[in-house]
Amino acid sequence: MRRQGRSRFSRRQMLGASLAMGFGGLHVTFAQSIPGASPTADDAYALPEMLADVDWLETHVDDPDVVVVALTPREEFERGHIPGSRQIDWPALEVTDTTDDSLAAWRGDVERTISELNITLATTVVAYDEGTLFAARLWWVLHYLGHDDVRVLNGGLPAWQAAGNEVEIGSGGTEFPATEPYVGDPRPDVIAQVDEVVASLDDPDVAIVDARTADEYAEGHVPGAVNVNFPLNALPEAPKFWKTAGELRAMYEEAGVTPDKHVIPYCSTGVRSAVSYFTLRLIGYESVSLFTGSWAEWSLDPDLPVTTGDEP
C-alpha cells in the first residue's frame, strides 16, 4: 500500500529497536561462520583490510600511528574499554539533512570533532563498539572524508575480552591535542542526497535497502526498498563477527540486491544503514552510496511517497 505522509519517532529508540527485536526483516537460515577457520574462496572478503581482528590489534594497540576509537555512549566507555582508546558516540557524527548547505556545515563540524581525537589523514583508525556494529558509522564518516586506512574491529569489545585481554575502567584520556587540523577530501559518490534517492525510485538498476526492523519497514518505507535488517550482517551471538562473504552475498542477492546494481542503504538516521554500506563494500559491491538522511529526512517531507506493509 502506498500513501503520503510523515512519521514521528525517537531516534535512539529506533536504533535500539533492531537489537531489542532481534533479526526481523529478511528471514534466511545460515550455517554459522567459524572465526579463524580457513576460508574458502567463496567465504573470502573482497576487501579484508576493512576489518581488523583481535590478533592484529593486540600487536598494534600501542603503535603511535594507530588510534583506537570506541563508538559508544560515554557511560558504557567508562565501564570498560580497550586500553588507550578514545570515545565518541554516533550522535556527534549525525547528519539527517542532505541538502548541499547542510552537508557542508556538517563536514566542518565533523572534521573539527575528528581533529579533537588527534586523528590525521595519515592515522590508522580502528573503530569498535560493544556489539552493536555501530562502529561502521565512524568507518563510513572517515571513508566519506577520504580517509584511506580505517578499519572496524571484528567482534568489537566482546571479541577483545573473549581473547583474554584486559579493559581499562574510567574515563581514560579525554583530551588529545591535535597536531594538525583534520581536513578531508570527500568522496561524493559514497553519499546519496534525498533528490538522488527520489530520482532512483523507478530505476531498475538501483536497489534501495531498508536496514530497519520488519515492523519499522511495515509502518512506512521508501517505495521499492527491500528490508534487510542490519543485524543480519553478523552472527547473532557475541562476539558478533561478520558473516562470511558467501553467506552475505547469498542474503543480499536473495533480496534482489545484486552486485550489478547501484545500492542505496538507509535506516532511520544513517547509523544502522552504515553497517549495511560497510558490509556491501566488504564483500565487493562497488557501487554503493549511503542515504545518510534516511527515514528522518524522508518522512519529514509530506510530498515524498511512502509505502506501507511488508512488500516493496
In the chain, the domains with their CATH numbers are 2-40+189-307 (3.40.250.10), 48-186 (3.40.250.10)
Mean pLDDT of all residues belonging to the chain: 88
Q: Return the residue matching grid coordinates 542477492.
A: 253
pLDDT bracket for residue 29 (50, 70, 90): very low
The reported pTM is: 0.87
**What's the average model confidence in pLDDT over 9-19?**
41
pLDDT tens column, 120-155: 999 999 999 999 999 999 999 999 999 999 999 999
Q: Return the residue matching grid coordinates 576493512.
A: 50
pLDDT value, residue 22: 41
pLDDT of 65 above 90:
yes
Residues in the chain: 312
How many Å apart are CA 280 and CA 285, to the nearest integer? 5
Packing angle, helices 272-282 and 135-144, rounded to 10? 70
The residue that leads in pLDDT, 265 or 14, is 265
pLDDT value, residue 13: 42
pLDDT tens column, 77-121: 999 999 999 999 999 999 999 999 999 999 999 999 999 898 999
pLDDT value, residue 24: 41
Burial of 3 (0-12, 13-18, 19+ CB in 10 A): exposed
DSSP class of 31: P
Q: Which amino acid is at 18?
A: S
pLDDT bracket for residue 201 (50, 70, 90): very high
Pairing of strands 2-4, 51-52: unpaired
pLDDT tens column, 277-307: 999 999 999 999 999 999 999 999 999 999 9
And the C-alpha cell for 81? 574499554
pLDDT bracket for residue 217 (50, 70, 90): very high
Q: Please count the other Cβ atoms lying within 10 Å of the Cβ belonging to residue 31.
A: 9
pLDDT value, residue 17: 45
